[in-house]
């Protein structure tokens, strides 16, 4: 559920963040994790701000010091579970909205990150 301050930021989004605003607004129809949560994970916002991802928790990679052969099995299980979550959460509309938001981020990463931060802070105010 969006707060009044969040809704004002969404309604008055700059042209370069209209897709992000639309995705944030649309995600209000979801229980966690939402398509907007995935967006915040993909751009690194959740990891930097909160130290973890919420839609796709981190998986140790082959360059990690904790990587071993059992990590590969765990990573495969993780991928199977989360691909099902993605399929369950993201239809064609949500994928299109996610693509629009990611395109805006690709064109103006710092501005979009700042906008996401303002949305997050507005949600905490109420």
Q: What is the pLDDT of residues 44-73, one digit of tens each?
A: 898 788 877 777 655 444 445 555 556 567
| Domain map (residue ranges) of the chain | 4-121
Flag whether pLDDT at 78 surpasses 60. yes
9-13, 38-42, 79-83, 93-97: least confidently modelled range? 79-83
Place of tokens 């993605």: 86
pLDDT at residue 105 above 70? yes
Closest CA to 122 of 32, 18, 11: 11
Please report the pLDDT score of residue 125 as a whole number: 66
Token reading at 85: 């979550």
């Amino acid at each position: 559920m969006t707060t009044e301050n969040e809704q004002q930021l969404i309604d008055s989004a700059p042209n370069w963040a209209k897709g992000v605003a639309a995705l944030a607004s649309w995600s209000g129809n979801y229980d966690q994790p939402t398509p907007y949560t995935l967006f915040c994970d993909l751009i690194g916002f959740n990891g930097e701000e909160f130290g973890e991802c919420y839609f796709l928790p981190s998986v140790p990679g082959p360059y990690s010091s904790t990587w071993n052969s059992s990590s590969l099995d765990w990573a495969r299980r993780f991928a199977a579970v989360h691909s099902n979550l993605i399929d369950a959460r993201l239809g064609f509309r949500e994928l299109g909205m996610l693509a629009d938001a990611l395109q805006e981020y690709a064109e103006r990463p710092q501005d979009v990150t700042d906008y996401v931060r303002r949305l997050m802070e507005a949600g905490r105010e109420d």
